[in-house]
Structures are given as structure tokens and as C-alpha cells.
């Protein structure tokens, strides 16, 4: 997990510490939650992804060509 350092005015720091205390979590975790809310989850699918991808090959379906026959191999005991 990466670390970020930032500077905020004293009044903002005090408000952050108070809210983290009210939430009963460390300030760093409280700030991480705020950043995630703003940035969004990293592992989420982009908005509209499935609308674009789902059914995109319905006009040109994938076809598997004949695979031929397999060779006879010696059995292992």
C-alpha cells in the first residue's frame, strides 16, 4: 500500500481528526476512505463497459475449426 503526504491548514486537520475520532478509526483510514469515495474503486469496471462489450460479436460469432485427431500415445502405468 502506498503512502501519500499532504499539508492542510490547522483548522482542516482538527476537523479531520475529530471526524476520524467520531468514526472510531485512525485518521489515515478516514482519509483513505475519502480518497476512495472521490477516485472510486480501482478494480471496478468502467461505466458502460458491459453495455459496450456484451453481445458485441453477435453478428460475427466465433467458430472453432475442426481439431483433427489426436495421436496414440503409450500408456503410463
Q: Which residue from 36, 38, 35 is spatially nearest to 6, judged by alpha carbons?
A: 35
User: 12 pLDDT exceeds 90?
Assistant: yes
Torsion of CA 11, 15, 17, 21, to 10 degrees: 160
Tell me the pLDDT tens digit for each residue of 20-71. Answer: 999 999 999 999 999 888 887 777 788 888 888 887 777 877 888 999 898 8
Who has greater pLDDT, 53 or 10? 10
Tell me if 16 sits within 8 A of 8, measured CB to CB.
Answer: yes
Split at pLDDT 50, 70, 90, the class of 11 is very high
The x, y and z cell numbers of residue 2, run together, are 502506498
Sign for the CA dihedral angle at 25, 29, 35, 37 comes to negative
Amino acid at each position: 500500500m502506498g503512502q501519500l503526504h499532504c499539508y492542510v491548514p490547522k483548522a482542516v486537520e482538527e476537523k479531520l481528526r475529530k471526524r476520524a475520532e467520531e468514526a472510531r478509526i485512525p485518521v489515515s483510514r478516514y482519509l483513505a476512505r475519502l480518497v476512495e469515495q472521490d477516485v472510486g474503486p480501482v478494480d471496478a469496471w468502467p461505466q458502460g463497459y458491459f453495455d459496450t462489450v456484451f453481445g458485441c460479436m453477435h453478428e460475427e460469432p466465433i467458430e472453432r475449426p475442426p481439431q483433427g485427431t489426436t495421436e496414440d500415445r503409450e500408456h503410463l502405468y
